[in-house]
């Protein structure tokens, strides 16, 4: 491909009606819980990138270092094909794989259109010979990839870093893994990052950094709800909490109402009692054995595993029986 190659973007962002429906359903749950992708508007995406730079949050640095160190080995295990990244964010982790694989195309899926457009444009400039396509969507609800020339006639290789699968409950994660298998199609392979259980103090600090970036990230959800669904939340009327729940092997992140209050949102009134939580997201942690059992339930087979020296996280290569 010529150096003048321009990245392309397809916008399949969920419509406002879908957002309203999902928010109302989440507010009616006990405890209240909203879809994690709502955190990632333009400001939320910027704040998440800042979280990844905090000293307490080692997952991004550890995973990036592992990808850089093992890229040739990972590329050999993946084999040829179009590289499809789920939850690409800033698309900073994929560079070593692109260099080692030299794929016929790279496709990035993410929920924030502005963030995705910038990421794809910058990635295209760094890798001018690899055609880049961005698809703005909620990949957990995507039934099929768009019919695009870059996705035709090539085997699809999935890349799902960041342990983002942890934002889904085990049941939801199994369904999502099965869905990704369908999106990738025959002969698919999936390289996925999995954060593992570790000391409670380290886990809780990673999601509640001293600089308060994680708290700002959570409160920005309320700002978005105010803007997009005519809400009147006072973000400062909620404190932020991140705690380890060992019985579920997960971190629970929540905004906690400081007092009794009534909030208008999506044309309805919602009452919060003092101490009531609004779950912004969960982050489930898996041992390698537990994750492989989860993957098996979705029709995948483990074909390789790479870990950092401290065994904080794993990169798992999953394959289908026909790959």
263 and 295 in a single domain? The answer is: no
Q: How far apart are CA 186 and CA 156, in angstroms?
A: 8
Q: Is residue 64 part of a domain?
A: yes
Note the pTM of the prediction, 2 decimals: 0.94
User: The domain containing residue 183 runs over which residues?
Assistant: 8-12+56-198+285-319
173 and 69 in a single domain? The answer is: yes
User: What would the mean pLDDT of 198-220 be, rounded to a whole number?
Assistant: 98
Report pLDDT digits (tens) over 83-112.
999 999 889 999 999 999 999 999 999 998
Q: How far apart are CA 288 and CA 185, in angstroms?
A: 25
Q: Is residue 2 part of a domain?
A: no
Report pLDDT digits (tens) over 150-178.
999 899 999 999 999 999 999 999 999 99
Q: How far apart are CA 319 and CA 323, in angstroms?
A: 6
User: Percentage of the chain surpassing pLDDT 70?
Assistant: 99
pLDDT of residue 16: 84
192 and 238 in a single domain? The answer is: no
205 and 188 in a single domain? The answer is: no
204 and 258 in a single domain? The answer is: yes
pLDDT of residue 4: 59
102 and 159 in a single domain? The answer is: yes
Q: Is residue 3 part of a domain?
A: no
135 and 270 in a single domain? The answer is: no
123 and 107 in a single domain? The answer is: yes
73 and 147 in a single domain? The answer is: yes
Q: CA triplet 267, 281, 109: central angle to 5 degrees?
A: 90
Residue 323: which of 188, 192, 156 has the closest Cα?
Answer: 188
User: What would the mean pLDDT of 26-30 be, rounded to a whole number?
Assistant: 97
| Tally of CB atoms within 10 A around 158 | 24
Q: How far apart are CA 314 and CA 304, in angstroms?
A: 10
116 and 225 in a single domain? The answer is: no
Q: Indicate which CATH number applies to the domain containing 291.
A: 3.40.50.150
204 and 78 in a single domain? The answer is: no
């Amino acid at each position: 491909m010529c150096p003048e190659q321009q990245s392309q973007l397809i916008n399949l962002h969920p419509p406002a009606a879908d957002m309203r429906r999902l928010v109302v359903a989440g507010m009616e749950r006990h405890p209240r819980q909203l879809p994690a992708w709502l955190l990632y508007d333009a400001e939320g995406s910027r704040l998440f990138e800042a979280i990844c730079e905090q000293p307490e949050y080692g997952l991004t640095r550890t995973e990036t270092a592992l990808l850089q160190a093992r890229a040739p080995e990972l590329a050999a295990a993946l084999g040829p094909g179009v590289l499809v990244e789920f939850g690409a964010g800033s698309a900073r982790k994929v560079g070593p794989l692109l260099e080692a694989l030299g794929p016929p195309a790279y496709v990035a899926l993410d929920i924030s259109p502005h963030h995705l457009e910038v990421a794809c444009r910058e990635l295209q400039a760094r890798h001018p010979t690899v055609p880049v396509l961005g698809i703005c969507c909620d990949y957990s609800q995507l039934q099929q990839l768009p019919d695009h020339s870059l996705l035709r006639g090539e085997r699809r290789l999935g890349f799902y870093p960041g342990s983002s699968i942890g934002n889904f409950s085990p049941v939801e994660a199994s369904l999502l893994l099965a869905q990704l298998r369908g999106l990738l199609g025959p002969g698919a392979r999936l390289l996925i990052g999995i954060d593992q259980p570790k000391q409670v103090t380290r886990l809780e600090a990673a999601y509640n950094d001293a600089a308060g970036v994680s708290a700002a990230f959570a409160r920005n959800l309320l700002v978005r709800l105010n803007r997009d669904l005519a809400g009147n939340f006072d973000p400062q009327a909620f404190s932020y909490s991140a705690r380890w729940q060992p019985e579920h092997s997960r971190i629970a992140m929540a905004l906690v109402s400081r007092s009794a209050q009534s909030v208008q949102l999506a044309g309805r009134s919602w009452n919060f009692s003092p101490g009531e939580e609004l779950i912004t997201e969960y982050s489930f942690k898996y041992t390698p054995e537990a994750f492989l059992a989860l993957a098996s339930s979705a029709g995948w087979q483990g074909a390789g595993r790479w870990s950092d020296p401290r065994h904080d996280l794993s990169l798992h290569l999953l394959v289908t029986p026909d790959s």
